[in-house]
Structures are given as structure tokens and as C-alpha cells.
A = this chain, B = another copy of it.
């Protein structure tokens, strides 16, 4: 069977504003280190005023994953809402320039393109405050059935459980993918997202999801588990494949009775962990779409994640396809 795309993803269309910060800054601004917090435009402006000079980069979790799949040489499409403004043009450019399909019409309205204020501490950890803006208004009409049905894997970000309209778009896409016999993948996105929507997420995972991505904090939050082992035991049997990332400790994959660990790919210096999980999902899914064994999926995920944490910004700066070839993972 052939598909016109490897991955179609639905997520918040976001431009990141990335700046260095220290732990004292996080404390002074009541920011939970490593987490993502939703803020309104007014709070966003106030926080931005206090932040250091930054750089801007297209972001958004699932959008970063789509960029990663495209950079690896895969065929990917993204569905998400920007506004008809300068940052929206930047987002659309970066998506198309990397070779991904992005055809969601921009929002004609007052809300600007969504922004994520990313404060990166010297340990490379990122702490995010997101103003959703136009992304908040992704709706069911933006989900084109043909696009979903033609892709081997539908990838959804847990962040979309927050905006009510987007959540309906999410459900519509899952229904279309399931009816067409596609693989449905979900990333938990953030421990606080999981906390806010635990029951609904768990129900969605058990009924719709084939492939689940999450890090230690997220999977722990999903099951209110004491430790990683307990959470890993709890997810077993609820999804066909769970790929759980553990930062410098690599990842653990659980599939049916099988389970294995893959070490993290080596990195000279961790500069900014923004996008690590997103790129892991990109590598994992493209290898899966190409019929590779699960261990190769986890390795390609780890390789893509290692590239993105070695520089500022959530998207690859090196063509990942060449990197995969160099590591025998193409």
C-alpha cells in the first residue's frame, strides 16, 4: 500500500521567541521550570518586556515534528492556524521551505499569530509561556478529509486538548484516520496539559491511539505514578506502542510484550532542549512509516533530538536526512 504522505500532523501554529534566562528569572516570574503555561496577550507582553533579547523561530510542537520529518526526507503535512500577519508569514514560509505541505488558510481576525516565549536556562532546559492567538481558532473546517486519509500516520499534540475548537478538529481528524485504517499517534506534550485533561486524554488514548509519545513527567502525570517504572507498567497494554523519552537517559519503547531501551545519541553540549521531544517523534514516525524495526525508530528519533538540542531553536539546522545516512539510519 502506498500513501501520498508519511505523516500529517495537527497542532498549534506558533512562533517561538527564545531568550536566555536564569533560574532567578523563572522564580521572579513564577514560571515552573520545564513546563508550558498558557498566557493571554496582556501577560505575554508583560513577560516579553522583562525577557532578554531573543531570536525568533517557527515553532509549535507538532509543527516542529513535521519540519523534522521533512528534513529527514519524509513527506509531511501540517494543519494549524496562523494569522495574516508577519509572524504568520514567517511560520508558513519555514514550513513550506523545508518541503512540508501547509495549506490551512490564515485566520482573518483580530488575533495575531500565536507566540511562545521560551526562556532557556544555562542547563539547556526550556520554560515556555504560550499565547495561542490565532492557533486557538483552528476549527473542524480546517481538517480536510483527503489530507488525513492519504497519510500513513496522523500525529496529534496533546496541547490541542486546551483550545475547545481545536479539540473538536482533533476528534474529527482521529475519526477520519481511524475509518481509513491509518496509524494514530499522540504526544502528551506537557505534564500540566496531562493534569488538566487526564481523564479525557486517557480515554482518547485507550480508544484511538496506536502510538503514544511522552516524557517521564508526562507519563507520570497521566497515571499519577510514583515513579517511571510504575507509569511504564500502567501504559502497557493500553496502546500498541509507547515511546517514552527520558532526556539524557535515552528512551524506552513498550510494544505488546516487548520492551527495550535505547541510549541517547551523544551531544557535545546541550544548548537548548526546545524541540527535543518533537524531533524524537519525527525520527521515530518516519522510520516506522518506512517499515523499520522499533529499535531503529527509537534510534532515528534519538539522532534527530540530539541535533536539535545542540543549538538554539526547536527545528533542525542541519539537514537530518544527511545525518541519518551518516549514522546508517536512512
Contacts and interface: CB of A to CB of B under 8 A. Distances in A.
Contact of A55 (B53, B56, B86, B113): B56
Interface stretch (A26-34, A91-99, A135-143, A210-218): A91-99
A17 to B, nearest CB: 8
A54 B54 CA distance: 14
A317 B55 CA distance: 10
Copies in the complex: 2
Nearest to A93: B48
A56 B56 contact: yes
Contacts of A67: 53
B97 A51 contact: yes
Contact of A57 (B55, B90, B311): B55
A112 B97 contact: no
24 contacts: A19-B97, A20-B317, A48-B93, A51-B97, A52-B97, A52-B98, A53-B67, A53-B94, A53-B95, A53-B97, A53-B98, A54-B94, A54-B97, A55-B55, A55-B56, A55-B57, A56-B56, A56-B57, A56-B90, A85-B86, A86-B86, A86-B112, A312-B312, A312-B317
Contacts of A93: 48-49, 51, 53-54
Contacts of A245: none
Contact of A58 (B53, B58, B313): B53
Given A48-B93, A93-B48, A315 B85 contact: no
Contacts of A57: 55-56
A8 B93 CA distance: 36
A87 interface: yes
The majority secondary structure among interface residues of chain A is mixed
B98 A313 contact: no
Contacts of A311: 312
A54 B94 CA distance: 7
B85 A313 contact: no
Most chain B Cβ neighbours within 10 Å, of A67, A85, A90, A95: A90
A39 B136 CA distance: 36
Q: What are the 8 A-B residue pairs with the smallest beta carbon separation, nearest first?
A: A56-B56, A53-B94, A86-B86, A53-B97, A55-B57, A53-B98, A55-B55, A86-B87
